Structure 1
Amino acid sequence: MTTSRTSIARRAILAMFAGASLAVPLAVSAQDYPTRPIKMIVPFPPGGATDVVSRRMALAMEKELGQTIIVENRGGAGAIIGAEMVSKAEPDGYTILSTTAGVHVVNPAIYPKLPYDPMKSFEPISQFVATPLALVVINKTSPFKTVQELIDYAKKNPGKLSYGTAGSGSSLHQNGEMFKHAAGVDILHVPYKGAGPAVTDFRGGRVDMMWSYVGSVLPSVKSGEYRMLAIGSSKRLPLIADTPTVAEVLGQPGYDADTWTGLVAPAGTPGHHRAPE
């Protein structure tokens, strides 16, 4: 977590509640906010990439704001349960949602009757993670040393390989299907109720591969538990320069698989302003 992103999030949160004392009877001024713990809802089960980065962000925010950030996991229904909870919360600055591209971009496209409006039910605070996705396998048990080997096997054995995700409609599912289409392969999608359960089965050998945040899998790659076959960014990353991009392997420069995580508050939260650059 960089200091600049943390500071942006802090300034954005304080700016959002600058007019709170005029609009909410029990609210206090921005100079006093926050006067009690803030609840951060993560709409996924514990252990997944979103949960991990959200908890890191919460720790950074605690230092900046001088107040406790309580991270509460409300997983289920493709993150709809947690998102709906925040959309209906009191817009006083003490309940916020750690959201993703899957929640605000993918879900509206596949669920026509959401119990909230992804645009009108929330006020944006700040994005704090933007990352390419990585395709990983278990180092000791997977026979695939390169993504091309995996693609070649999948073409000869359609439907034999599987990949796990945080659930249908998640950004991991979206990018997994994009990879299948781009590579021309048939790989079974296994949805879970969050990335945490998916990771558990991945480590147990019940699914053959996963897409995940580069940052969240890097420690497991360095320890030798995972093998990173490729990343979804358009260019190689300096930190893992030996790992090819899917774009270069497939010869498709336009291929770009990434995702983001950010914070939003319930609509009607007073004093909203955009996060300063």
Structure 2
Amino acid sequence: MSSSGEAQALSPLGTDLKCDGYDGIFLIVSSLLFVLYLMLHAKKNLIRLCRGASYVVVSYYALLWLVTLLNLAWSFLQAWQCSPGKEVAWNLLSLFTASGMLCLEISLVAFLLKDNYMNGMEALAQSFLASGITVFVDTLLKALYVFGFGVPLFNRNVGSAQTIKWSLWIVHKLLLAAAYGFILFIQFSKWREKLPPRPAFYNYVAVMFLFSVITLLACGLAGIGAGLGNWLYDFTVLCYHSFYLPFLYVTFLADFFQEEDFLLDNAYYSEMKDAGFFDAEWE
């Protein structure tokens, strides 16, 4: 009897597991607010994109919309991870959502490193090639472990019982932290000129490096059975799905749209100045 009770407690479908609560409500509210924000600015942004934006920006904006909707669905359907018969659907939704967000994360760095705001199809192909290969391999490995070996990568209610799960996440977060750390290292090396002269880029990399280190620490603590590790990991998941997409939008696309406004205002001012609208101010 005791062994069956322990098995139920460790099972992702155990009745005592909490799959909803204030964190789920916060996920839904934050995701929904960002979707509403994108909808409010969609018409204005589409007009600016149609005015002559690069293929990179157009593609990235479309990808952001797709991942945002996936993340919204993931936030609304949190109860699936504890519902019998919904394991496959939850794993598929989580896999596509995680892959989409990782694609955004890697593509953003690739775009900014190349500084290809106004390049054409060649820049788009080069930027998506590296991120596409990386995301494909990452998705393939995750699908293999989840559907092939039954590792509950996307179930946050298994605690420290699944050492394979935490080992995989440790490797995953370690690679991300190493990538962001390497970019920060280049900033203080002789290859600094190869980095884009954008302060927002360095702020983004620094924030993501710190976040990756914290997530790596959480996975390590959870893997050795520390209760703090499970809580910290849940908190990082909550922050990532709630704030990463808005943070990414502010770092990349919002700057682009603001630059478009600035250039447009300068163009209007030049036309009005050439037409003599400001001559009276000097008389």
TM-score range, shorter chain: under 0.3
After TM superposition, the score normalised by the length of structure 2 is 0.23
Higher relative contact order (CA 8 A, sep 6+): 1
| Structure that is richer in strand per residue | 1
The structure with the larger Rg is: 2
| Structure that is richer in helix per residue | 2
After TM superposition, the score normalised by the length of structure 1 is 0.23
